Structure 1
């Protein structure tokens, strides 16, 4: 698929290209944004709002402390293990200003997962929440960590509220297990010692690594995607180009429920919204729906970024249904397939259509999005400006339009490679810069892309390809179904058979026969499931994406024990 194929596919007013070299590095973007939008709100959480000027001041304090009180050098890695709190952007931008490489780390990681990531990345510093400091204590002797900073939930709230909230979290809710880290420094002390001190701004080169973002990829082995300053700046500019006709600058409020340590929210909220000077309301625990809905009720929000399972949960929440959506003009979806029934229900309830997009950790992450002026439900939209896509067969041959094959992506947002894994890099990234995504897709003649499914999730029934996304989409239209997942299970006759896992809506009376009848009415015979299992919940990732692999593993263990 040549670059010229895409040039006339964009709506009027949407540029087909961006200049990824208009900023030399991320701190330069931060400096420009904090100058232009100094008095605008940047981030809010737990009742406090940081302006862009305050963000610059606090990130400078963090950077100055790193430079004056540690032996960390530019290029060293710092693991940041925080949920959505004001401390997160302060630390990220402070670390980048000091020339460090950020290693985003999931706060829900086990000690084993932490140890692997810290050692694989070669992290020399860690900023973690007190709630998981006991795990840091356990892994510290087995890692190269030399600097440990511990923050408490309310560290950026004004006293005495800070003392009160932290005391409640520690002593009333008992959410901070005992730990002993005598070498650790408190985050509040770091800021106090760095405040007002000069920062030796490290002018990273555009191709220098800014972030090591870990991903399981197609193998399940956690690998660090090397995202350069240029990669992230390109994706920031691409996102701004796409939403610039919908969201203004310095005047929008976006709800931020997805975790900032995940690349989706990291790039969009922490990075791209900085370019536009907009305001992110951080939701620390999106699984607590009542608290999240209560927080949303405090703001006239104009943007919301989520994914299918979160849209389902919110639409089923009575408090959410009563919110004021009169200011909402942009809803973005990614991370997993958006189901048509869910998109239509969201639009009826909020009055705002959902723009589905697509991305990967390896692409910083956004590859494509539906332009709000021209949404096609069931597609992931058009490639972002300066991005090319093609579908190929197993031999790497370009299949052109209207053919199903593996989606490949090329653009300035594509990673440099996997950290210290040249073989793994060579498996997905060729000499021309094309990244093999592992997703099965089709490019329509109008340029819109449809994801069929993950290559590894495809079910082979008697030689026929069956894609779980299609089955789950059909089932989502059945009243009484809250969420569902389809997997392949071993079958002596057909090689694989289809099994459905279904979570009913509260109060719904839904039988296996009703499910199967619905599938028979809407699907050809070989796509109809053999088994249906009802569950109270399904396993999900930290952002709510259903873990089909875990369901498959459970079935294999069950079969082995039979």
Structure 2
């Protein structure tokens, strides 16, 4: 598709182009927004609100601490392992102001996953929640991490409430296992040491890496996508451009239930909403639907960012259905396919249509979205400004409009490459800047894109990528396993559920409970299989490669979906 083809597809008032070089780096956007919206609320969590001005002051204190009390240098990597709490934006923006590269880390990671990510990224510092500090105790000695900063859930709250919340979490709910990290510094102590101290503001170039965002890409080995300052600036502008006709800077109240360490929420809430000076309501535990709904009842929210699983869960809540949705004017969906029944039910309950979008970690992440003015359910919309899409055949040749092929993307939001993995980068990103997504799609005459299937074997569980290679590698370490395979099967709640097939060694026997216990000990919860099937053999090619597609097809036939 040519650039001229896409220029005609945008609704009136939306420019087909953005300027990714309008700001030298993310910090320039941060400074401008925190001055322009200094008295406006930026983030709210557990009843405590930080204004943009306060966030800038606190992030400055953290940056000053890093510069004066550690040996960290610009370009060093700092792992940030926290759920949605006020500490997250303070730490992330403070680290970037000190010139560090942020490595977003899932708080649910197991020791094995943390060790791989920290070593692969070469992280020298870690900021984590006390709830997972016992895991850090095991991992840190096996890595190059020199500095550990620990925070508790309620640390940003007023003194009395902080004591109460932290005590309940630790002693009543027993969510903070004992740990021993002698070198650890408390985040509040670090902020106190940096408060009021001058910051040597970093001045990275647009091509410098701002964030290492880990993903399996098209294989199961977790790789760090190098997202530059220019990538993030481009994507925040692209998102802002498509919403400008419907949203007002500094006036929107945005619900943030998706984890900020995930690229979808990170870019939208920490980047795009920062650019527009809007108010993000951080939901720490969206799985607790009653508490989530209670929080929603306290805000006249105008924007809701979610995914299919969450829409289903909320619409199933009687208390949610009773809320006042009169201010809601935009609902965004991403991270996993939006089901038609979910979209219709959400519209029925809230009166607001869902705009589905599409993206990848490697594209910072937004590639396309349904414009609010023209939503086509079942499609992923049109490419965001300054973005080109095309479909190619198995040989990489461009296909004509209406053909089914692999979706490829080109734009200023496409990553620099995979961290220290030139071969893997070359497999997905060509010399002209086209990124192969691994998704099979068709581009319609009107410019809207429809995803047909996934070329890769990736499983998508509630918006999280799960890679069969990783699961099979872990499962193969269980004594008694001869062959194994992992696939995704349709699931109403999570989009897909994981099923594993196991062939045991001769004379050996295993139970489903043993398999699941082994997986639970080695992978994050959402990667643990829901179903286990034991077989005498698995379908294979003549060179011994297990045919996952055949297993998937069998499952779909059983369900009457093929």
The 5-angstrom pairing of residues 319-468 of structure 1 reads 319-457=319-457
Aligned twin of 1:299: 299
User: Residue 560 and residue 139 in structure 1: after superposition, are their counterparts in 2 closer, same or farther (change >3 A)?
Assistant: farther
Instruction: Give runs of ≥4 in structure 1 deviating > 2 Å.
Output: 498-505, 544-547, 549-552, 557-562
Q: Does 1:40 align with 2:20?
A: no
Quick check: 1:146 aligned with 2:152? no
Q: In the alignment, is the contact (CA less than 8 A) between 1:308 and 1:336 conserved in 2?
A: yes
1:442-465 deviations in Å (ceiling 9; x for gaps) = 00011000011211249xxxxxxx
Match of 1:161 in 2: 161
Match of 1:245 in 2: 245
1:172 shift after superposition: 1.0
2:282 equivalent in structure 1: 282
2:87 aligned partner: 87
Shift of 1:220: 1.2
Q: Partner of 1:225: helix, strand, or coil?
A: strand
The answer on whether the counterparts of 1:336 and 1:545 sit within 8 Å (CA) in structure 2 is no
Shift in Å, 1:345: 0.9
The answer on whether the counterparts of 1:306 and 1:332 sit within 8 Å (CA) in structure 2 is yes
Distance 1:499 1:143 in 2: 33
Measured in 1, the distance between the counterparts of 2:526 and 2:388 equals: 28
Q: Secondary structure at the match of 2:42?
A: strand
CA contact (8 A) 1:335 1:545 kept: no
Taking the TM superposition and a 5 Å limit, the aligned residue runs for 1:168-247 are 168-247=168-247
CA contact (8 A) 2:108 2:525 kept: no
Give the distance between the partners of 2:329 and 2:488, measured in 1 at CA.
38
Aligned to 2:21: 21
Give SS of 2:211's match. strand
Distance 2:130 2:432 in 1: 45
Cα distance, 1:160 vs structure 2: 1.4
Aligned to 2:273: 273
Provide the rounded CA distance (Å) in 2 between the counterparts of 1:165 and 1:545.
25
Q: Secondary structure at the match of 1:456?
A: coil
Structure 2 vs 1, CA of residues 278 and 64 (structure 1 numbering), >3 Å: closer, same or farther? same
Q: Structure 1 residues 253, 268: closer, same or farther in 2, change over 3 A?
A: same
Distance 1:109 1:504 in 2: 22
Alpha carbons 1:257, 1:285 under 8 Å: kept: yes
Aligned equivalents of 1:212, 1:545: Cα separation in 2: 23
- The 2-side partners of 1:142 and 1:546 are apart by 25
Instruction: Report the Cα distance in structure 2 between the residues aligned to 1:294 and 1:559, rounded to whole angstroms.
Output: 51
Where do 1:463-502 residues align within 5 Å? none
1:427, 1:286 → 2: CA distance?
37
**Is the Cα contact below 8 Å between 1:214 and 1:225 reproduced in 2?**
yes
Query: TM-score, with normalisation over the residues of structure 1?
Result: 0.84
Residues 202 and 170 of structure 1: is their aligned pair in 2 closer, same or farther, counting only changes over 3 Å? same
- Tell me the SS of whatever aligns to 2:159: coil
Question: Conserved in 1, the CA contact under 8 Å of 2:43 and 2:86?
Answer: yes
Specify whether residues 551 and 404 from structure 1 end up closer, same or farther in structure 2 by C-alpha distance, changes over 3 A only. Answer: farther
Check 1:123–1:545 CA distance in 2 against 1; reply closer, same or farther (3 A cut): closer
Q: Deviations over 1:462-495 (max 9, x none)?
A: xxxxxx99xx9xxxxxxxxxxxxxx9xxxxxxxx
Contact (CA 8 Å) 1:309, 1:545: kept in 2 or not? no
Q: Please give the alpha-carbon distance, in whole angstroms, between the structure 1 residues aligned to 2:538 and 2:112.
A: 27
Q: CA deviation at 1:101?
A: 0.1
RMSD: 2.4
| Structure 1 alignment gaps of length 5 or more | 459-467, 473-486, 488-495, 506-538
State the secondary structure of the residue aligned to 1:325.
coil
Cα 1:266–1:104 shift into 2, 3 Å: same
Distance between the aligned counterparts of 2:276 and 2:491, measured in 1? 41
- Rounded to whole Å, the distance in 1 between the matches of 2:488 and 2:190 is 53
1:64-123 deviation per Cα after TM superposition (whole angstroms, max 9, x unaligned): 000000000000000000000000000000000000000000000001100000000000
| Map 1:41-56 → 2, pairs under 5 A | 41-56=41-56
Q: Distance in 1 between matches of 2:8 and 2:132?
A: 51
Partner SS for 1:305: strand
Superposition deviation, residue 400 in structure 1: 2.0
Give, in whole Å, the separation in 1 of the partners of 2:323 and 2:222. 40
Measure how far apart 1:550 and its partner are. Answer: 5.0
- For 1:156 and 1:500, the matched residues in 2 are separated by 41
- 1:95, 1:501 → 2: CA distance? 40
Contact 2:309 2:493 in 1 (8 A): no
Aligned to 2:512: none
- Are 2:70 and 1:77 equivalent residues in the alignment? no
Contact 2:226/2:417 (CA < 8 Å) preserved in 1? Answer: yes
Distance 1:299 1:545 in 2: 31
* TM-score when normalising by structure 2: 0.84
Q: Is the 8 A contact 2:406 2:439 kept in 1?
A: yes
Shift of 1:140: 1.1
